[in-house]
Amino acid sequence: MRIGVVCPYDWDVPGGVQFHIRDLAEHLIRLGHEVSVLAPAEDEEALPPYVVSAGRAVAVPYNGSVARLSFGILSAARVRRWLREGRFDVLHVHEPNSPSLSMLAAWAATGPMVGTFHTSNPRSRAMIAASPILQPGLEKMSGRIAVSEYARRTLVEHLGGDAVVIPNGVDVRFFADAEPNPAWQGGAAEGGPGTIGFIGRINEPRKGLPTLLAALPRILAERPGVRLLVAGKGDEAEAVAGLPAEARARVEFLGMVSDRDKARLLRSVDLYVAPNTGGESFGIILVEAMSAGAPVLASDLDAFRQVLDGGAAGELFPVEDADALAASAVKLLGSPERLAALRAAASRHVRRFDWETVGAEVLSVYETVTDGRPPVAEVEPSDRRSRPSR
């Protein structure tokens, strides 16, 4: 099968949607399918062979964050050229409700089309207002996927229609087989003080690092040797500026890490903390942590609760409650038995997210929408039905 996939976000800037698309493409290629991914990208030499650059992206406020997207006349021309050259059996667009290549592709194409919706935003007036613009593309999608029940709910309440829920996938074995780094281990299972891990953009408030840092002095009061390992991009000095000196000394910034080192970090820490404050439709980092055997403590967001099997595969604390975070972390680090129980529960639960399972479900959607239909084609410019109503 020839599969065209559209990534809305800048390929050069790591993110959950980009990782999902990358891993899906590579899984499908291993199965023998031909896959081409169209994405904004500036550094074309660094792209994998299956990714086609649609040019540079620009920063746009989107869903409580800043997304790097491509949109406009030049981007539309590149989308149309890619569609003509691809002759795809199925077109898979991600986040078609964003002002991006995905929206442009949905407008420009006809034929078997699948949309995946990642965003969870229960009160988006902007999405409701933009519905007349979004509908022409959405109506062409004979297959719709939401990565969580909360992303599905956002689609239903704001744009109408429905979607099958297929979660983000993870290469479970990649994380499970990673080699721990002794320098990142804290030995909580053997009575040591323990290490806590955090991975995310340091200066993005919704990733919740300030809540974790506010909890750190209280954790150190009970477990003086604890270290906090932070991997991600951002202003490190600004992040810890409000901490007392003794707490700052227990924070180690690792900067941006490779996929290999991310897996090693998750295999090494005694506890992974996800203190996110909102705007999450799934929580891929939780699945990666569980795959690596890291016990998870996460803020009680709807999406995180679902990923953690209602709290059975990881513990939850109230959103932005630093005191509750600290109390839970101290209790967990002091209980090797509870940490072992969380690892065992997570190991069982995480199989649901392995690409062998998720990939088969995505392929089933592809087969449904392509059954007996001609391949994807570019809509002729004269066909006004493919354009947003004015």
Residue 311 phi, psi (nearest 5)? 105, 0
Residue with structure tokens 């800037």? Answer: 13
Beta bridge partners of 4: 36, 91
State the pLDDT at residue 385: 45
Q: In a 3-state reduction of DSSP, which class is residue 380?
A: coil
Considering the entire predicted model, what is its pTM? 0.82
Strands of the sheet containing 113-117, edge to edge, are 51-53, 34-39, 2-6, 90-94, 113-117, 143-146, 164-165
State the pLDDT at residue 124: 56
State the pLDDT at residue 56: 85
State the pLDDT at residue 386: 43
Q: What is the DSSP string of 256-307?
A: S--HHHHHHHHHH-SEEEE---S--SS-HHHHHHHHHT--EEEE--HHHHHH
State the pLDDT at residue 381: 63
Class for the domain spanning 2-169+354-382 = alpha beta
State the pLDDT at residue 43: 84
Domain ranges of the chain: 2-169+354-382, 172-352
C-alpha distances (whole Å) from 319 to each of 206, 215, 276, 352 are 11, 13, 7, 26
Quote the CA–CA distance of 99 and 62 in Å, as a whole number.
9
Please list the ranges in the chain whose pLDDT falls under 70.
Answer: 60-67, 121-134, 381-390
Token pair, residue 56, equals 């540079």
Topology given in CATH for the domain delimited by 172-352: Rossmann fold (3.40.50)
State the pLDDT at residue 382: 55
- Asked if the domains 2-169+354-382 and 172-352 are classified in one and the same CATH topology, the answer is yes
Residue 276's nearest CA partner among 64, 8, 102 is 64
The whole-angstrom distance between residue 41's C-alpha and the CA centroid of its chain comes to 18
Between vectors from CA 112 to CA 381 and to CA 1, what angle results, nearest 5°?
Answer: 120
Quote the CA–CA distance of 271 and 321 in Å, as a whole number.
18
